[in-house]
C-alpha cells in the first residue's frame, strides 16, 4: 500500500503572538508568551486535521541525534534534531528561522522523517543519519523523496572564510559567494548534493529565502523572532 504524504510549512501570519514574535510563532524556546505558542500549536494541529496529539515536536540542539517515534508524545522529544516514524496520522515537526527543514518520505514503505539541519547539524551529518534510520525502518533509497524547506539562501548567509571552508570540507557543495561578494554558505545546496550521493534522486527545494521573505521568520534578519514549523506525515 502506497501512503499519501503531506508536507506543510507555516508562515508568520494568523497567530496569537505579539511582536517581535508576530504572529504565528511555533517555537516555545524564543521568549514568546507560552500561552500564545500553545494557542498557535493548537491552531496548527486543528487546521491540518491531526488533533492535539497529532504532532510530535523536538527540543532541537543542533546535533545529529535522530529519534524513532511510534505514537503521541507528551511535551517534546529532548535533545533531538531528527524524527522518524512509520505511524500514519502522526506528524513530525521541525521549527526553523533560517536553518533548513528537511522533510523526507518513502510512501511505499510507509516511513517519514523530519530533520532540523542548521550549519552545525548539517556539518555533523544529521541528514545522512536520518536517512540511515529511515532505511533501518524499512525505507528504500530509490523510493525516498525529500523536500528542503525555506531557509537562508547563500546570497544572504555570510560567514568567515575559514568557517565556509570547514563546512565545505564536511558537506561539499555548501560553500558559495554572498551578494556582497564575501564567503557564504548555501546549506540546501550541500544537503541536496549529499542526498544525491546517498542515492536519493527525488530532492525538491523550496526557493524561498527566510531573510528575503518578510512573510517568514528569520533570526539573521531580526532577532529575537519566532519560528516557522515544517511538518510531514502519512495519511
pLDDT in tens, 162-208: 999 999 999 999 999 999 999 999 999 999 999 999 999 999 999 99
Query: Can you give the residue ranges of every domain in the chain?
Result: 5-234
- Mean predicted confidence (pLDDT) in 31-56: 96
Say how far apart CA 233 and CA 235 lie, in whole Å: 7
What does the pLDDT look like over 73-97, one tens digit per residue?
988 999 999 999 999 999 999 999 9
State the alpha helices, DSSP H only, in 20-98. 34-47
Query: Is the pLDDT score of 41 beyond 90?
Result: yes
What is the pLDDT at residue 154? Answer: 98
Residue 48: what pLDDT? 95
- Interatomic CA distance for residues 211 and 203, integer angstroms: 22
Mean per-residue pLDDT over the chain, rounded: 97
pLDDT-above-70 percentage for the chain: 100
* Alpha carbons 69 and 189: distance in angstroms, whole number: 29
pLDDT class for 47, splitting at 50, 70, 90? very high
C-beta of residue 41 within 8 angstroms of C-beta of residue 50: no
User: Contacts by 135-138 with C-beta closer than 8 Å and gap 24+?
Assistant: 137/68, 137/84, 137/86, 137/109, 137/111, 138/86, 138/106, 138/109, 138/110, 138/111
Q: How confident is the model at residue 67 (pLDDT cuts 50, 70, 90)?
A: very high
> What cell was used for 116?
532540523
> Could you tell me which CATH number the domain at 5-234 has?
3.60.140.10
CB 79: neighbour CB atoms within 10 A?
A: 11
CA distance 5 to 9: 14
Backbone angles phi, psi at 13, to 5 degrees: -90, 150
- Radius of gyration over every alpha carbon of the chain, rounded to an integer in angstroms: 17
What's the pLDDT score for residue 180?
A: 96
Cell of 175: 560553500
**Contact predicate 71/107, CB 8 Å:** no
Amino acid at each position: 500500500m502506497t501512503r499519501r504524504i503531506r508536507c506543510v510549512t507555516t508562515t508568520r501570519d494568523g497567530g496569537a503572538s505579539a511582536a517581535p514574535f508576530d504572529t504565528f510563532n511555533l517555537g516555545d524556546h524564543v521568549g514568546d508568551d507560552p500561552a500564545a505558542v500553545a494557542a498557535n500549536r493548537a491552531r496548527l494541529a486543528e487546521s491540518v486535521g491531526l488533533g492535539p496529539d497529532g504532532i510530535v515536536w523536538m527540543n532541537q540542539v543542533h546535533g545529529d541525534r535522530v529519534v524513532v517515534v511510534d505514537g503521541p508524545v507528551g511535551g517534546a522529544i529532548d535533545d533531538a534534531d531528527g524524527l522518524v516514524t512509520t505511524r500514519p496520522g502522526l506528524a513530525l515537526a521541525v521549527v526553523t528561522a533560517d536553518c533548513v527543514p528537511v522533510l523526507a518520505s518513502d510512501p511505499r514503505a510507509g516511513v517519514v522523517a523530519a530533520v532540523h539541519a542548521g550549519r552545525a547539524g548539517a556539518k555533523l551529518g544529521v541528514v545522512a543519519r536520518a536517512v540511515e534510520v529511515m532505511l533501518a525502518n524499512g525505507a528504500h533509497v530509490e523510493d525516498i523523496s525529500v523536500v528542503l524547506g525555506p531557509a537562508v539562501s547563500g546570497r544572504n548567509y555570510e560567514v568567515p572564510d575559514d568557517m565556509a571552508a570547514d563546512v565545505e570540507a564536511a558537506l561539499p557543495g555548501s560553500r558559495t559567494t554572498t551578494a556582497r561578494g564575501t564567503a557564504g554558505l548555501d546549506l540546501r545546496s550541500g544537503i541536496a548534493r549529499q542526498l544525491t550521493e546517498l542515492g536519493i534522486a527525488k530532492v525538491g527545494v523550496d526557493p524561498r529565502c527566510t531573510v528575503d521573505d518578510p512573510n517568514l521568520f528569520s533570526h539573521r534578519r531580526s532577532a529575537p523572532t519566532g519560528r516557522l514549523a515544517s511538518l510531514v506525515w502519512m495519511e
